[in-house]
Amino acid sequence: MNEHLAIETRGLTKVYGSGNTEVVAMRDATVAVRRGEVIALLGPSGAGKSTFLTAVGLINPPTSGQVLISGVLVLDGPIALVHLRSFRRKHIGYVFQKSNLIPFLSARENVQIALQLDGASPRRARRRTLELLEELGVADRAENGTSMLSGGEQQRVAIARALANDPSVILADEPTAALDSHRGRQVMELFRRVAHEHGAGVIVVTHDQRTLEVFDTIYEMEDGAITNGIHSQEAVR
Amino acid sequence: MNLAAKDIQHNLGRFALTVFGIGMLLMIVMGMGGIYRGLVEDATLLVERIGADLWVVQRDTRGPFAEVSRVPKTLVYRVLAVPGVESAREFVFHTIQREQNGKPLRMSVLGLSWPLDKGEWLPLVAGRPLAQNHYEMIADKTLGLRPHEQIKLGKETYTVVGITGGMASTAGDGMIFVTVWDSQAIQFDTPNEAIRLERAAREHRSEATDLFLSQPVLTEQLSRPVAELPAVASPELSAVVVRVAPGADMDAVAAAISTWSDVSVFTKAGQEDLLLKGMVDKSRRQLGMFRALLTIIAAVIMALILYTLTLDKLHSIALLKLIGAPNRVILGLILQQAIVLGGVGYGIAFLVGQKLFPYFPRRVVLTSEDLLRLAAIVLGISVLSSLLGIWRAMRVEPNEALMG
Ligand SMILES: Nc1ncnc2c1ncn2[C@@H]1O[C@H](COP(=O)(O)OP(=O)(O)O)[C@@H](O)[C@H]1O
Ligand SMILES: [Mg+2]
């Protein structure tokens, strides 16, 4: 059954600081995301959503609990069972609220670097990059510097990069916060499409109530705890 | 895709300015080395050009360059009599400072032993060697004298007939070449009044001397020029330069002359050693200290620049780590920029230096050995100074990318 799960977390807990300043940012977060499934994570600011996402993304290990990616136990508490950096490169794509791109590279290079870091030849990486940018509708901006791109274009380039190495997991933290509702919706639908087409498990942290029907499952987070997922049709109803 | 190059392109203006600054700094380091080389070359130039095998100087002096040496004119003939000596020549050398066109003019005067030596061995860039034994001179071009220009030295007027290139004394003063007689006339020039006073004093002394009282005819002789008085020594030389016959044993010749109790003998290498160890050594150490300090300063400044460049990129570095870039990629980014900074800076130093150094008042000599050594040092400090930036970059956590 694990083969079908893109992401599985078991009892993730994160404690920041110690003693008086101790903050429990996340407690006992247990979530399962199938391949091709897109889930939304809702919740007020400070609920622990980013903490959860960065734990799953292997950039901020939990204090305790386990993270499995594609059925492989990757994090057991703070202990890494694989080489995290190369594992991230191969299996995880990230999109954040802003500042996703390297400013001294063009749109194309921002995507291409991810492919080349994973060993693709410059020629193949370039071809694949142009396909991705085409797919995301920003091919005409390929040679522009990142500062020349609008917020929406930047997010789409970041999504192209997240998709570049065909990851089994895509994590997005408020990717539409900087976009208007029309653009925001487009981006959300894009996630849905790539999840279904590329067979990736996608977790999107969002505040945007209007786009919820795009998601397969919706989780809510409050005070570090995640409620059981609800199917999105019920939530909308 | 070369990240270092992309980042440089993105901040080209700022990077160019930084590289230019480093280049200027390295140019000074390079110039310091060149000034030292110039000092050494100037110091040994004359000895090198004169090409004598042995230098015979006043006993226990380190002359004729490092200190004053006086030997009698007849020493030349004594030396010539030593077996194995091919030629022996008079050598007269002293430095004078005069005014020409309202500006101070420092000249080192070297006497050529006419007619053996007319200055054919000098590197002439214009004009000709000496053609008569009086009132002609050859001057180095650094003195700013032109052919046919006339200059009054002592009681005579000399005409510039030839111009040399690159003939400077150990102190860096331009040289002039006249015959030994002229050079002595210049060196021992006495004002007319002094001559009259000396003549009067001579006559006064004679009135108290038995010899003159018994032979009054001698008194007449006292008013003749000093050089014609048999009882007064003729002007002295600075040294006698010796060429040893081919096949003769130089050490044996030197040893033979050394036994005379009025002179000391130096070989060419010994003479050069005297100049370098004695005269140039302090300057060399001074320049060396300065150069070491400048190199350290350049390294510190480069480290600071590279650290700042790294700080500016921390977010990108975190992002690179986030998307799985190995440390080698990040290390390469910083190290390559460090090497470009050092390398291009060095190139600028070299190019600008080559254009600028010829205008320095003293010679700046860039030898390929020195250039190579500096290149290695620059490479070294480039790598070393990037360590601080690399250390900072390695400490960046990938989740810092989210704090943008
Ligand atoms: N690095 C940190 N050190 C200490 N406390 C932190 C840190 N990061 C987050 N927190 C705290 O953990 C809680 C959850 O934060 P976060 O996961 O960012 O919430 P959200 O993304 O839902 O707004 C907050 O109370 C926040 O102050
Ligand atoms: Mg957050």
Contact at 8 Å (CB) between B344 and A132?
no
- Euclidean distance between CA atoms A101 and B221, whole angstroms: 105
Q: Give residue A59's domain range.
A: 5-99+169-235
H-type alpha helices, B86-233: 180-187, 192-207, 210-214, 218-221
Q: Tens digit of pLDDT for each residue in A144-169?
A: 999 999 888 898 899 899 989 889 99
pLDDT at A235 over 60: no
Cβ contacts from A onto B, under 8 A? 74
Among the atoms of ligand 1, which is closest to the Cα of residue A47? 22
Residue A138 inside a domain? The answer is no
The finding on whether A62 has its CB within 6 A of some atom of ligand 1 is no
Clarify whether residues B213 and B68 are in a common domain: yes
DSSP A64: E
In B, residues 110-169, which contact A (CB 8 Å cutoff)?
A: none
Q: Would you say residue A155 lies in a domain?
A: no
What are the tokens at B67?
């200190």
Cβ(A23) to ligand 1 under 6 A?
A: yes
CB interface of B with A, residues 338-397, below 8 Å = 397
Q: Which ligand is nearest to the CA of A25?
A: 1
Residue A143 lies in a domain: no
Q: What is the pLDDT of residues B75-84, one digit of tens each?
A: 999 999 999 9
Q: Verify that B182 and B101 share a domain, yes or no.
A: yes
Model confidence at B1, in pLDDT bands (50, 70, 90)?
A: confident
Structure-token pair, residue A114: 């991810």
Q: In this structure, are B135 and B242 located in the same domain? A: yes
Residue A134 included in any domain: no
B343 with B390, same domain: the answer is yes
Model confidence band, residue A1 (pLDDT cutoffs 50, 70, 90): very low
Give yes or no: residues B123 and B246 share one domain: yes
Ligand closest to the CA atom of residue A16? 1
Residue B248: CB atoms within 10 A of its CB come to: 16
Provide the domain count of chain B.
Answer: 2
Interface predicted TM-score (ipTM): 0.90
Residue A104 in contact with partner chain B when CB distance is under 8 A = yes
Report the DSSP beta bridge partners of residue B104: B99
Same structural domain for residues B241 and B303? no
pLDDT value at B199 more than 90: no
Domain ranges, residue B305: 3-42+281-403
pLDDT at B335 over 60: yes
Residue A117 lies in a domain: no
Instruction: Judge whether residue B49 has pLDDT over 70.
Output: yes
Nearest-by-CA chain B residue for A93 = B323
Q: What mean pLDDT is predicted for residues B77-100?
A: 89
- 3-state SS assignment for residue B104: strand
**Per-residue pLDDT tens over the stretch A97-146:** 777 899 999 999 999 999 999 999 999 999 999 999 998 889 999 999 99
Element counts in chain A: helices (H) and strands (E): 7, 12
Mean confidence (pLDDT) of chain B: 88
* Residue from B250, B260, B361 nearest B58 by CA: B260
Same domain, B244 and B326: no
Q: Which residues in chain A touch residue B316, judged by CB atoms under 8 angstroms apart?
A: 102-104
pLDDT band of B339, cuts 50, 70, 90: very high
Amino acid code (one letter) for B215: Q
How far apart are the CA of B392 and the nearest CA of chain A, in angstroms?
18
Neighbours of A46 (CB within 10 A): 13
- How do strand B156-164 and strand B136-140 relate by DSSP bridges? parallel
Checking if the pLDDT of A237 tops 50, the result is no
Best residue in B313, B317, B323 for a mutation probing chain A (most A CBs within 10 Å): B323
Q: Note whether residue A227 is domain-resident.
A: yes
Please give the average per-residue pLDDT across B246-254, as a whole number.
90
- Assess if residue A87 is contained within a domain: yes
Confidence (pLDDT) at A232: 61
* SS3 of residue B144 by DSSP: coil
Q: Is the pLDDT of residue A2 over 60?
A: no
A25 lines ligand 1 (CB under 6 A): yes
- What tokens were used for A16? 């920041």
Q: Does A114 contact B6 at a Cβ distance shorter than 8 Å? A: no
What is the number of domains present in chain A?
Answer: 1
Q: What is the pLDDT of residue B17?
A: 94
> Where in chain A does DSSP place strands (E)?
5-16, 23-34, 38-42, 64-69, 72-76, 79-80, 92-95, 169-173, 201-205, 217-222, 225-226, 230-231
Which chain B residues contact residue A98 at CB under 8 A? Answer: 404
User: Cα(first)–Cα(last) distance of chain B, in Å?
Assistant: 24
> Residue B367 and residue B38: Cα distance in Å, rounded?
10
Q: Which residue has the higher pLDDT, B206 or A206?
A: A206
Q: Is residue A185 part of a domain?
A: yes
- Indicate if the pLDDT at residue A49 is higher than 70: yes
A206 Cβ inside 6 Å of ligand 1 = no
